[in-house]
Amino acid sequence: MFRTLLLSSRSTTSDGQGSRGHLTFISVSTAVLFLLAGTFALAQKPNSQPHTQNTSAGSVDRGKYIVDSVAMCGQCHTPRDANGGPDRAQSLKGAPVRWQPVKPDPNWPLTAPRIGGTPLPASDEDMIKLLTTGIWTTGAHLRAPMPQFRMDRSDAEAVVAYLKSLNSQQEP
């Protein structure tokens, strides 16, 4: 119907001749639609690249990448040194939360817990549930400023493998 309206709506110039500008518009818009459809179809195609093997070492490496470069857990869970940089010797061993909400929130945590080393703060399955749903062992959603992650299971398993690979620490 839209195309019919475009084809039937000829504009006239001052000399009374009809304009064919609308045909160019249809050609360009049709080409754009085909490009978008093709792009969408390619985006829906499953990734043809092989996955890395889910070996223990590969899983730990992938978990390290997710923790350090994607989720950036150390921003909150690693204490700071005297210069304000992360204290690498205390990586993921828990730290005071450096940010405060703009509006006072009595539920705001004062510390980020230790998440590196064993024992983990919860069972492997509970940690995976946390990372895939954002729900803690109590059934409650995590409090701000903790992001509500929605990782897929393989990423969550890799994160847990990495966290467990760190030096074991007991709670203070």
pLDDT tens profile 110-152: 999 999 998 999 999 999 999 999 999 999 998 889 998 999 9
* Interacting residues of 26 by C-beta distance below 8 A, sequence separation 6+: 3, 6, 7
pLDDT band at 41 (very low <50, low <70, confident <90, very high): very low
Per-residue pLDDT, averaged over 55-78, amounts to 91
pTM: 0.63
Domain spans of the chain?
56-165
Q: Which of 160, 150, 169 is nearest to 60 (CA)?
A: 160
Q: Rounded to an integer, what distance in angstroms lies between the CA atom of residue 152 and that of residue 76? A: 22
Q: How far is CA 92 from CA 68, 96, 154, in A?
A: 10, 12, 21
Residue 47: what pLDDT? 40
With vertex at residue 116, the alpha carbon angle to CA 55 and CA 80, rounded to the nearest 5 degrees, is 130
The answer as to CATH 3.30.1460 being correct for domain 56-165 is no
Task: Name the percent of the chain lying above pLDDT 90.
Answer: 55
Residue 28: what pLDDT? 45
pLDDT band at 55 (very low <50, low <70, confident <90, very high): low
